[in-house]
Every structure is written in C-alpha cells, then in structure tokens.
Structure 1
Amino acid sequence: MSDRIAHRFARPELLERALRHRSAGTPHNERLEFLGDALVNLIVAEALYERWPQADEGALTRARAELVRESSLATIARTLELGPRLTLGPGEMKTGGHRRDSILADAVEAIVGAIHLDAGFEACRAIVLPWFEPALAALPPPNKVGKDAKTRLQEWLQGRQHPLPVYALLSEEGQEHARTFHVSCTLAQPALVTEGSGSSRRAAEQVAAEAALDCIERMRREAATGR
C-alpha cells in the first residue's frame, strides 16, 4: 500500500486510521479527512496559481473545484486501489461502500492528512501533486474554464427564487472498473424531470442538469414565439 502511494509511513497507524471508515467504529478517518481536505485545496490551488499566471480568481476557483470534487478524488482513489483496502462496518460492506465515490474521496483526503502528519507539508505536496497531474493536464485553457451544468442550473433557479433541483440515483450497472450510473434531475418550478447517464454519479448528474437547461431554453423559446 505504501508503495502505491509512494510513501513509507514512519507511523503506520496513521495510514491504518486513514483507511478506517466511521462505520467500522473508532478510531476512524474523519479528523484526518478534515485536515486532508484543507491540504488538498492548498496543494491544488498553489499548482494552479503557478501554472496559470494570467488567470483571474474566478477561473482559478472553478478549476480548483473541478480538480477536488468528489468524483475526481474518487478517481484518484481507484488509481491508488484504495477500495479493497478500506476498513468498513458490516452495513457499508454489504452495500458496496468500498465502491462509493463519497467514501473513496474521503479516504484520499484522509491519506493526504496522514502523510502530512507523518512527513510534513513539503513531502506531502511532493507525493500528492502527481496524483492530480492527469486531471491538471486535461484542464482546458483558463479562459475556457466555465461553470458546469449543475452550477448553471442552480444559479438559474436561485436567481428566480425557485426550489433547487433534486438528483436521485436510478440505477447503476456494469463491472466495477467500468460502471454506468443513471440519475434523474427533478425541478419543482418549472415542473420538469430529466435523466442522465455517466461513468460516475457526478458525471450522470451533469448530463441530467444539461438536459434540464436545454428543456428550460426550449420552453423559453416556445413561450417567446407563442407556440
């Protein structure tokens, strides 16, 4: 495990705790997750600040949000093969908690916190930053980093004081390494339900949100033309 994350722990109990979900009892990884969340945001923010010297605060903020969101961290967890190594309670084991994005993302943050406590910030940054390199390299140019569909939909609804959308998982299928998630997006005003599919729940929600925005735009055009 230490080889996979490129760090040999002087205090192995930190790694053990980082991989222990609260469902397995105490001690668990929530305090390490709290610390790791702040460290991940700092490491990614610093990397973006250095790589994009001309980018404004808005572009930097949106890019950081993209890199540290739950599904992005879960992808890192799968690359590090954390799922099978998690310590979960019986209920989470039975429901496949080792595959859940939220649990995997929390484990990544907890491990970052554990590395920091074990070796200090400089070593932590040197180990953790390469985990984000593929996603950093895949980012569009700063001037093309835009708000995602879920954010745009939420802002449109909030601007009109409408209730926020409700996303629900309809189904998931496929092998663990190639799963497909199907979700719905329900709006109260305008009354609307759309669906989306993707390789993660987050990706599927984005598709469903984009579909909702398309429907709203179509309704707006039809109302404008009196159809």
Structure 2
Amino acid sequence: MGWWRSLKALLAPRESEPANLNGVENILNYHFQDQSLLRLALSHRSAVNASDTLTGSNERLEFLGDSVLGMIIAHQLYLDNPRMSEGDLTKTKSMLVNETTLATIGKTTGLNRYIFLSSDEERSGGRERSSIIADAVEGIIGAVYLDGGFEAARQVILRLIYANRHKITSDVAPHNYKGDLLEFVQARSGVPPRYEVVAENGPDHDKVFEVVVYVNGEPAGEGSGPSKKEAEQNAAREALRALGYSRS
C-alpha cells in the first residue's frame, strides 16, 4: 500500500510555503528568540491540514494578540490625548484596531506574503483576504508578546500601527460638527462660536493641538487633534453634546 500513500500525498492540497521568516523579522524590526512562535502566528488553519510540518493554527495567538493590541493602543491614546473624551478615545481606538486597518497594514508592509496557506486557499485569493491578514497580524503581536514581553509588543505596535494613526483616522470622512454648532448657535443668539488654540504639544512632526470653543463668550467644549481643524471639530462635537444638541 506504499504506492497509495505516495499517490495520496501527491494529490493532497499542499501548504503554500512563504519565503524565509527573517523577512518578517525585518518588517517588525524584532528578532524572535523562538522563531516557532512566529511560524505559528503565520499558520492559517487551512495550511495545518495540508502540512506535515505545521503543528497548529494561529487562532490562539490571534486571541492573545487582539487583547494585547487593544490594551496598548488604549494606553497610548490615553497618555497622548489628555483632553480627549471617553467617546472619542473609544472611536479612535476602534479605527486603529479594526480588521480593515490591520489588513491594510499587513498588505502595505508585505506581511501577507509570509502567511502559510493551503494551495486551495491560495488559489481562492486567501492571501489578499482581509480577515486572514488581520488575524495573522494579531497572531504576530501575540507571538511577539510571548517571545519578548510587553515592551517588545508595545514597540512593534507603536511602529507598525500607532505611528500611522493620523493617516488611518483621516481616511475616515469626518462629520462637520463645526457646521452643526454654527447653525445651532446662530439660530438662538445670532453670534457665531469662537475657537481658540489653548495648547500645542509634541514635536513639529507629531504635534497635538488643544482647542476650546466659546459660545456667547463662555467655554462650551474642548477638543484635541493632530491639526487645528480636527481639534476644532472635536471641540464643536463636545460643545454640541454639552448644549443638548440632537440631529433630527
């Protein structure tokens, strides 16, 4: 029956073998002490059944990486935005850790080229599938955390994701809260709101502006952002909330 086993092996779907995993370490700027963790992080479940060498899928590491990513992003946003409301922190965090963002990071850095897939999954377009790429990115974060600890994972996350936060958040079309506030206030008093920059924090390439909006001469809302325009929008949103505005 040896011939049958040989034929079965030839006909079975095979794993798609990525290039040397040192390329992933170069992208991450992190060297694994235990590279088997990285290999596991990149192993999609489709490849496990088709491989004689892969020992498990990345699903457990994905679970861990999701939690590590969320905590580190939340912590950094909290530190960098002392005037940002809980609602805005939550919204910004969601934009930075969602599937679309992680898949985009995986594609633009080339991490998706290293994912282990079955040949069938490869042929069906799995290497470009957002869910598969995002899961692998979370798996990698979980692997870095286990291999090097919290600070190693933090540095990878800050470099790959958080450093791109302004571009990620600006790609989402913003609502015009300043327009809403102007219309709301002028309908009642006829006096337009006034915006004032009260602080500028950080280096020129990563500055955060803090703005207060005044309604009838009184401070009505505060907001922060990487530009005066965004900070003013956030201040207007807080003012609308404080004034009890409701869009019809």
SS in 2 for 1:38: helix
Q: How does 1:59-70 map onto structure 2 within 5 Å?
A: 59-70=88-99
Q: What's the counterpart of residue 137 of structure 1?
A: 166
Q: What's the counterpart of residue 75 of structure 1?
A: 104
Q: What's the counterpart of residue 60 of structure 2?
A: 31
SS in 1 for 2:84: coil
* Contact kept? 1:63, 1:145, Cα under 8 Å: no
- 1:145: Cα distance to partner? 6.9
Q: What's the counterpart of residue 145 of structure 2?
A: 116
Aligned-pair identity in percent equals: 42
- 1:80: Cα distance to partner? 2.6
Q: What's the counterpart of residue 78 of structure 2?
A: 49
- 1:51: Cα distance to partner? 1.2
- 1:64: Cα distance to partner? 0.5
* Contact kept? 1:5, 1:80, Cα under 8 Å: no
Q: What's the counterpart of residue 155 of structure 1?
A: none
- 1:75: Cα distance to partner? 1.2
SS in 2 for 1:20: coil
Unaligned runs of 5+ in 2: 1-22, 49-54, 176-247
Q: 1:9 aligned to 24, 32, 47, which one?
A: 32
Unaligned runs of 5+ in 1: 147-220, 222-227
1:19 and 2:48 aligned: no
Q: What's the counterpart of residue 187 of structure 1?
A: none
Q: How does 1:89-168 map onto structure 2 within 5 Å?
A: 89-138=118-167, 139=169
Distance 1:59 1:106 in 2: 25
Distance 2:70 2:107 in 1: 20
RMSD: 2.0
Runs of 4+ off more than 2 Å: 137-140
* Contact kept? 1:40, 1:68, Cα under 8 Å: yes
Q: Which has the larger radius of gyration?
A: 2
Distance 1:3 1:71 in 2: 23
- 1:90: Cα distance to partner? 2.6
SS in 1 for 2:117: coil
Distance 1:126 1:79 in 2: 19
- 1:122: Cα distance to partner? 1.0
Distance 2:143 2:108 in 1: 18
Q: What TM-score, normalized by structure 2, do the two folds share? A: 0.55
- 1:24: Cα distance to partner? 1.1
Distance 1:57 1:145, change over 3 A: farther
Give 1:79's aligned amino acid: T
Distance 1:93 1:101 in 2: 13
Give 1:126's aligned amino acid: Q
- 1:134: Cα distance to partner? 4.4
Q: What TM-score, normalized by structure 1, do the two folds share? A: 0.60
SS in 2 for 1:7: coil
Aligned residues between the structures: 144
* Contact kept? 2:27, 2:111, Cα under 8 Å: no
